[in-house]
Structures are given as C-alpha cells and as structure tokens.
Amino acid sequence: MRRILIVGAGQAGLQLALGLQSNGYDVTVMTNRTADEVRDGRVMSTQCMFDTALQHERDLGINFWEDETPRVEGLGVSVAGPDSSRVIDWVGVLDGYAQSVDQRLKMAGWLETFAQRGGQVVVHGVAVSDLDYLARTYDLVLVAAGKGELVSMFGRDASRSPYEAPQRALAVSYVHGLGPRPEHDFKAVRCNLVPGVGELFVIPSLTTSGPCDILFWEGIPGGPLDVFDQVKDPSEHLRLTLELMKTFTPWEYDRARNGVELTDAGATLAGRYAPVVRNPIGELPSGGLVLGVADVVVANDPITGQGSNNAARCAAVYLAAILAHGDKPFDRDFLQAAFDRYWADAQHVTKWTNAMLGPPPEHVLNLIGAAGQLPPVAHRFANGFNNPADFEHWFYDPELAGAYLASVTPQS
Ligand SMILES: Cc1cc2nc3c(=O)[nH]c(=O)nc-3n(C[C@H](O)[C@H](O)[C@H](O)COP(=O)(O)OP(=O)(O)OC[C@H]3O[C@@H](n4cnc5c(N)ncnc54)[C@H](O)[C@@H]3O)c2cc1C
C-alpha cells in the first residue's frame, strides 16, 4: 500500500486525504491543531464555494453540510457613487448554487471523519527539518499548509506574481440578525464596490451556531477601510464594520438596522497578504522532494472568493494524478506534471483576481454598468465565479467586450 503524508488539514489537505483514503492509500495527516481547537477557534475565511468545487466534495461523498447550508442562488453587484448612493445594482442568477460552510465546522468534521475511517492524524506544527526526516519514510509528501511558514520551501515565481505587497486589508465578521434582502427572495452573495475605497461582500453562510451572514470588507491599504489591524475587541470590530457600511454602503447597512450580533467569540478576523504564485516543488536539505498544494503554491487575494474553490480543484487534480500514476515513483516529473495540470485551471483564477484588484479599465466599467440592463451579461459575470476561464473570452480585451455587448444588445 502506498504511504502518503499530507501536511495541513484545510480544504485541500483534507479533501485529498479523504479521497486517497477511500481509494485504499495509507494516509497520514499532520496538522498543527486538533479538531476541537479548530471548531472552538477563530474564523479563517468566508469560504464561499461555487458549483464545480462543491461537486468535487459531492463526488467524494463528503458534502456533509449541504442540506443545512443556505443555498446561494445569485451573485449581485452594486457600485457606490461619490455620494454613497447605489448607482449600479443588479443580480445574476447562478446556474448551480454556491455554499459557504464555516471552515471551523467543515475542517473539524472532516478531520474527525478521516480519523474515524482509520486515518492517522498527528497533531504537530511541522517544520522543514521534520519533513527532511519524514520524507524518507513516505512514498509522497504533500504540503497543504496554507500561507504559513512552510511556504519558505517554495520559491516565489516572479513571472506569475505581479504584486509584491498586499492589495487589500481584510476584515471579516460573522453575524446573526441581518434582515432579509429586499430586492429578491432568493439568497445571493452581494459584491458592493466602493471605487477608490474597497469592497464589501455579504455572504450567506453556515456557522457553528446555524445559518448566518458574513460581512467582509476588503479595503485598499492606507484608505478609510484599513482600520482593523489594531482592533482586538470583537465587538469594536463589528461596530467599525457597521459604521463603515453606514458611510459607504447604506443600502447594506439598512439590513442591519434592527440589530446584528456576532455569532460567537471567534467570529471576527483581520489581516492581509500579498498574492503569490510559487514554484510547486520543494527541495529538502537531504535531497527529498515535496509537492505544494493549493494556497501553498497559488495564493490569490480573496476579492473574487476563489481560494477554497482552487483548493478543491487542486485536491481533485492531484487525486486523479496520484491514482493514475499507480505504483510508479513520485519523481520530479510527476510532481511538476501534477502542478501543471492544476495551473492550467488556476492561471485563469489568478489572472482574473489580479485584474479585479486594480482600478477597472473603461470597458470593464461598461460591462458592469451594462449588466443592469442586459440580464445575459449579469448571468455571465455571476457564473464566471464558477468558471473563471470564461472571462478570457469577453472580459479582459476591450474589443472582445465590445463585440460581446453588441451581441446581447437588442436591436431597435
Ligand atoms: C478573509 C478571507 C476570505 C476568504 N474568502 C474566500 C471565499 O469566499 N471563497 C473562497 O473560495 N476562498 C476564500 N478565501 C481563501 C480560502 O480560505 C483559502 O484559499 C483556502 O482555505 C485554502 O485552502 P488550503 O487547504 O490551501 O489552506 P488552509 O485552509 O489555510 O489550510 C492549511 C492547513 O494547514 C495547517 N498548517 C499550517 N501550518 C502548518 C504547519 N507548519 N504544520 C502543520 N499544519 C499546518 C493549518 O492549521 C490548516 O489546517 C478567503 C480567505 C480569507 C483570508
């Protein structure tokens, strides 16, 4: 039986571990926190996942929370004017629903399932020196430890990493009590763009205390939203979040007027990181090779909500590659080919996400504006979150964008 070590118990590490385990591999997961510590800890993400990524979980039968999690059937975009009025507002319907399951719930549950099914779990914060030793006793070592210090083993790929510094300051609050959305009777993720300032995302989710909403500010560094780093008190974090909503997105604040409260003591998160693509193969001091997974190798800003989707894609691609490889050695060629297959998808996410971080060019402003009058444009933009490769055909290039708009504009 082939022995595989996975470092990290997040979306990618655990999806891959459960998939390999159900195919008869001898899998060990090393992680720095127990399931209870994860469940009782701080929120880590907003983790909205779209249909294709959710399907990878369904394929493995690990979609344990699907029935109780709110179904996100649309994706809306609003743009604030200089006077904080809502100058653009539309919603595109998703062909397949999206869902967000609090990673504290999902990762704790998956880790326990993996152990109950006979998987080995070692709770230990892994250092490079540990890997040097461990790599000799496994057929394959996968590093799925997110954006932590183990990324130092994987060199930055400057040709694929246009930004050297964080492009947004992130501030998340999970709340109960947000009023229903007045515009439509289905649930939607709302992207509220405040030009020159940042974005507010409102995301229906399932947390440890049931359904909730997530308020997620992405602030341009140094701007008026970049005020959360020093805030240690969760209630002050929520107060600031609401105050900024009142100032910049009053239509979203209206939903909070009847009083919202944090879902629990760990319901807030603030931070920032630079988007980066890394070389996928890490070389250990004694010559062993390890393969980077998901955020370790491709970490995008969450402005497009793609990291967990990418993690699910990466786990699915690596699982298929490992199964197809049979008993052959996991050599450098295998590791590189597995990553290349993943990058074939992930490159589209990186291109789109990095584009959304910059000021939008005129043709993108036209597209976002036109989506209010042209439902096919709203539909296509919304469903691009599930398939970012589609943006290649109509979004980046002014000519392609113009031709597309002309093709969906009714002739008078
Ligand atoms: C504020 C915010 C909002 C986001 N919103 C979305 C969204 O809406 N949709 C979306 O798709 N993505 C979103 N993301 C991104 C998404 O959360 C990540 O991309 C995704 O969780 C990456 O999965 P992963 O498995 O690669 O890593 P992680 O989820 O980071 O898991 C890494 C695991 O490794 C463990 N670990 C770390 N270091 C060590 C070590 N040295 N030894 C042992 N274990 C270790 C950690 O404890 C953890 O279990 C968001 C991210 C942030 C920060």
Query: Would you say residue 308 lies in a domain?
Result: yes
Q: Are residues 224 and 369 in the same domain?
A: no
- Distance (Å, rounded) from C-alpha 107 to C-alpha 89? 35
Ligand 1 atom at minimal distance to the Cα of residue 13: 25
Ligand 1 atom at minimal distance to the Cα of residue 203: 8
Q: Are residues 123 and 210 in the same domain?
A: no
Location of structure tokens 């999206």: 98
Q: Does the reported pTM lie above 0.95?
A: yes
**pLDDT band at residue 9 using 50, 70 and 90 as cut-offs:** very high
| Mean of the per-residue pLDDT values of the chain | 97
Q: Are residues 329 and 282 in the same domain?
A: yes
Q: Whose CA is nearest to atom 51 of ligand 1?
A: 45
CA torsion, ordered 298, 301, 305, 307, to nearest 10 deg: 20
Site to probe by mutation for ligand 1, drawn from 14, 31, 34, 45 as the one with most ligand atoms within 8 Å of Cβ, is 45
- Distance (Å, rounded) from C-alpha 207 to C-alpha 175? 10
Q: Is the CB of 172 under 6 A from ligand 1?
A: yes
Q: Are residues 148 and 206 in the same domain?
A: no
Q: Is the CB of 145 under 6 A from ligand 1?
A: yes
- Six token digits for residue 182: 């007045």
Residue 137 three-state SS: helix
Q: Does residue 33 carry a pLDDT above 80?
A: yes
Q: At which of 204, 237, 271 does a domain end?
A: 271
Instruction: Look at residue 218 in the predicted model and tell me its pLDDT.
Output: 98
- Distance (Å, rounded) from C-alpha 319 to C-alpha 329? 15
**pLDDT band at residue 181 using 50, 70 and 90 as cut-offs:** confident
Domain at 262, CATH number = 3.30.9.40
Residue 383 belongs to domain spanning: 362-408
Instruction: Look at residue 185 in the predicted model and tell me its pLDDT.
Output: 86
Instruction: Look at residue 411 in the predicted model and tell me its pLDDT.
Output: 83
For residues 385-392, give the mean pLDDT.
98
How many Å lie between the centroid of ligand 1 and the Cα of residue 144? 9
Q: Are residues 258 and 318 in the same domain?
A: no
Q: Are residues 94 and 221 in the same domain?
A: yes
Q: Are 300 and 215 in contact (CB under 8 A)?
A: no
Q: At which of 341, 357, 373 does a domain end?
A: 357
Query: Would you say residue 319 lies in a domain?
Result: yes
Ligand 1 atom at minimal distance to the Cα of residue 170: 1
Q: Are 8 and 145 in contact (CB under 8 A)?
A: yes
- Distance (Å, rounded) from C-alpha 119 to C-alpha 116? 7
Reported as a single tens digit per residue, the pLDDT across 295-307 is 999 999 999 999 9
- Distance (Å, rounded) from C-alpha 52 to C-alpha 316? 11
Ligand 1 atom at minimal distance to the Cα of residue 100: 8
- Distance (Å, rounded) from C-alpha 170 to C-alpha 13? 24
Range list of H helices, 40-142 = 51-60, 103-116, 128-134
How many Å lie between the centroid of ligand 1 and the Cα of residue 38? 12
Q: How many domains is the chain built from?
A: 3
Q: Does residue 412 carry a pLDDT above 80?
A: no
Q: Is the CB of 384 under 6 A from ligand 1?
A: no
Q: Does residue 1 carry a pLDDT above 90?
A: no
How many Å lie between the centroid of ligand 1 and the Cα of residue 96? 24
Q: Are residues 329 and 343 in the same domain?
A: yes
**pLDDT band at residue 183 using 50, 70 and 90 as cut-offs:** confident
Give, for 80, the enclosing helix (H) or strand (E). Answer: strand 72-80
How many Å lie between the centroid of ligand 1 and the Cα of residue 264? 20
Domain at 322, CATH number = 3.50.50.60
Q: Are residues 117 and 189 in the same domain?
A: no
Q: At which of 321, 336, 357 does a domain end?
A: 357
Among the listed ranges 127-131, 218-222, 246-250, 310-314, which one has the minimum average pLDDT value?
127-131
- Six token digits for residue 390: 């589609």
By C-alpha distance, which of 222, 112, 108 is closest to 165? 222
Instruction: Look at residue 333 in the predicted model and tell me its pLDDT.
Output: 98
Reported as a single tens digit per residue, the pLDDT across 332-348 is 999 999 999 999 999 99
